[in-house]
């Protein structure tokens, strides 16, 4: 314990020094790409082991993106039961993927893993993708994304310490509507840089009849060059103890508390601290989670809040059928880091810093059904109802051409969610996700850029040991863009079909081809920012 305290203290001092030394002239962003997680089964029933490879080399799959737009469906799992059949792959110490697209678009990925000592491992990651030719109707449509990731795992006698460093450097061009004269605009480039440091410590004991704990310290700096910048610090402490206190019942009971603190500084400082105590009952036919969340915050009309944290599941037929429901709520800070991950084209000079306010989810109800069939099919049907204050929308603005303003509104949101995963046989797998979204707003005419319907269909086919094929189809229904106080614009639906093919030359070397946007649909994710259309890629992947 003495060694552990010394090491943790040194790392905390290092992180604090890094925060204090950060210059206001630096321009950086970060998104933590590799979030550490210890499974509950490892905390309760076995000693958590150090992950063998922090940088897992996934099988290549086509993705529906021209660059880092978020195409995630609003499918947040409530229950622990899920069937995710991931294609097997060999993990080696080094992996490289290099490809080139028809728009002079390099696509580079490198991952390295090594054991420096018996108790210390190192992971390194590099990523680059870009496009260097313009679209027909837009003179400035180049972009570039670069990322560097470093992770270290250190295992001591009583605990393990993980360190993560992420650096991102992104360049985009602000693209304007064709009906706007931009001849007098000398430079449309926007640079977003980021840096993050994350430290995670967890002990090597189980929580069954002993105490398990995790401590996390996370610092992120995010900034637009020549514009707004953010310093964000997060602290998380998690403590858990499990036992069989109720002798007359089956299963294990777990008592835990999760304490979080978040400090966000742009030009004003926002601070929130929360505590989430809970008691879990885990039996053969049920799972019950009883708790509440309480928080306190600064610079707000409300000093704090208290919310329920209740979830439950009923299992039938050896847990192949599950009915679940949950009721919760929370308050969080709307951070620049999260906003830029959704829309990198926001206005850079935010004079109204009140826009970065707390988002308060007063009610969050979720319920539904999960079921599995012969371990071949996994399906989930669910609904979600939320009452949210300060929900973020993006509105086109002419104060800074080619950018979007941030507006907050109070909303009632209803979602119907469904997904299915099918393993037809060892060579054919199919998955689909569907979401229906309904927004009731107080101030905004439309839920800007929020689609009514989202649908994603994916298929994977292994012809033989040499040839693998995959396909992805993505669809978004009607969306609206803001044009003026009295006018909104209905955007054409998103429809994107992508194909991928792998030829495995041997166990270590493979060649791939992919086609993005097969039907050349020039849909707009945001007004003035259309898809790049049809593009083909060729490249290779090599493990060594």
* CA count, 13 A, side-chain hemisphere, 288: 10
The mean per-residue pLDDT over the stretch 382-402 comes to 87
Domain count, the chain: 1
pLDDT reported for residue 183:
52
Strand, coil or helix: 486: coil
pTM recorded for the entire structure: 0.79
Is pLDDT above 70 for 43? Answer: no
> For residue range 237-283, what is the model confidence (pLDDT) as tens digits?
999 998 888 766 667 889 999 999 999 988 778 899 999 999 999 88
| Contact residues for 488 (Cβ-Cβ < 8 A; gap 6+) | 445, 446, 480, 481, 482
Give the least confident one: 17-26, 174-183, 201-210, 330-339.
Answer: 17-26
For tokens 């371990």, the residue is 375
Q: How is 231-242 classified by DSSP, letter by letter?
A: EEEEEEEEEEEE
Would you give the DSSP letter of residue 355? G
Look up the domain containing 79 and give its range.
2-543
For the purposes of burial, counting CB atoms within 10 Å of the CB of 36, is it exposed (0-12), middle (13-18) or buried (19 or more)?
middle
Give the CATH number for residue 218.
Answer: 2.40.170.20
What 280-284 contacts at long range (C-beta under 8 Å, 24+ apart), as own/partner pairs, is: 280/253, 280/254, 280/255, 280/256, 281/249, 281/251, 281/253, 282/251, 282/252, 282/253, 282/254, 283/249, 283/250, 283/251, 284/250, 284/251, 284/315
Rounded to an integer, what distance in angstroms lies between the CA atom of residue 128 and that of residue 297? Answer: 39
> For residue range 502-540, what is the model confidence (pLDDT) as tens digits?
999 998 899 999 998 899 888 888 888 888 888 899 999
pLDDT reported for residue 321:
92
Assign 185 a pLDDT band (cuts: 50, 70, 90).
low
Q: What are the beta bridge partners of residue 358? A: 333
How does the average pLDDT of the chain come out, rounded? 79
Q: How far from each other are the two terminal CA atoms of the chain, in whole angstroms?
A: 39
Q: Choose from 50-54, 129-133, 220-224 the range with maximum mean pLDDT.
A: 220-224
Comparing C-alpha atoms, which of 11, 48, 38 is closest to residue 235? 11
């Amino acid at each position: 314990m003495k060694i552990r305290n010394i090491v943790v203290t040194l790392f905390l001092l290092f992180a604090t020094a890094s925060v204090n030394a950060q210059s206001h002239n630096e321009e950086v962003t970060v998104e933590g790409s590799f979030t550490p997680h210890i499974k509950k089964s490892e905390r309760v029933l076995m000693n958590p082991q150090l992950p063998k490879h922090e940088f897992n080399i996934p099988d290549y799959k086509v993705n529906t993106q021209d660059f880092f737009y978020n195409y995630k469906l609003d499918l947040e799992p409530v229950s622990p039961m899920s069937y995710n059949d991931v294609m097997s792959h060999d993990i080696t110490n080094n992996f490289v993927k290099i490809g080139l697209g028809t728009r002079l678009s390099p696509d580079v990925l490198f991952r390295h893993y090594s054991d420096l000592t018996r108790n210390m491992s190192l992971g390194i990651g590099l990523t680059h993708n870009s496009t260097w030719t313009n679209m027909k109707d837009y003179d400035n449509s180049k972009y570039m994304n670069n990322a560097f990731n470093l992770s270290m795992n250190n295992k001591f006698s009583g605990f393990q310490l993980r360190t993560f460093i992420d650096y991102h450097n992104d360049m985009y061009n602000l693209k304007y509507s064709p009906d706007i004269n931009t001849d007098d605009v000398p430079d449309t480039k926007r640079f977003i840089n980021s840096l993050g440091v994350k430290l995670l410590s967890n002990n090597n004991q189980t929580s069954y009849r002993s105490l398990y704990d995790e401590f996390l310290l996370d610092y992120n700096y995010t900034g637009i060059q020549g514009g707004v910048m953010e310093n964000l610090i997060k602290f998380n402490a998690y403590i858990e103890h499990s036992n069989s206190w109720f002798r007359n019942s089956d299963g294990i009971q777990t008592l835990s508390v999760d304490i979080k603190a978040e400090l966000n500084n742009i030009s004003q400082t926002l601070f929130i601290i929360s505590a989430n105590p809970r008691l879990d009952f885990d039996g053969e036919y049920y799972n019950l989670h009883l708790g509440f969340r309480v928080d306190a915050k600064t610079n707000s009309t409300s000093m704090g809040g208290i919310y329920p944290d209740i979830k439950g599941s009923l299992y039938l037929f050896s847990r192949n059928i599950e009915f679940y429901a949950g009721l919760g709520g929370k308050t969080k800070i709307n951070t620049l880091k999260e906003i830029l991950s959704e829309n990198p084209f926001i206005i850079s000079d935010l004079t109204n810093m009140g826009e970065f306010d707390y988002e308060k989810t007063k009610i969050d109800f979720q319920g539904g059904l999960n079921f599995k069939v012969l371990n071949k099919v996994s399906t989930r049907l669910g609904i979600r109802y939320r009452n949210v204050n300060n929900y973020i929308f993006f509105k086109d603005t002419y104060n800074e051409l080619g950018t979007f303003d941030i507006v907050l509104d109070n909303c009632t949101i209803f979602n119907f969610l469904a997904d299915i995963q099918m393993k037809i046989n060892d060579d054919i797998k199919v998955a689909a996700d569907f979401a229906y979204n309904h927004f009731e707003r107080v101030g905004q005419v439309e839920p800007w850029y929020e689609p009514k319907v989202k649908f994603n269909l994916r298929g994977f086919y292994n012809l033989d040991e040499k040839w693998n094929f995959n396909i992805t189809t993505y669809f978004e229904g009607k969306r609206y863009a803001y044009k003026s106080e009295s006018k909104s614009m209905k955007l054409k639906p998103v429809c994107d079909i992508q194909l991928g093919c792998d030829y495995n030359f041997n166990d270590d070397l493979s060649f791939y081809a992919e086609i993005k946007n097969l039907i050349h649909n020039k849909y707009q994710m945001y007004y003035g920012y259309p898809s790049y259309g049809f593009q083909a890629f060729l490249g290779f992947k090599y493990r060594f």
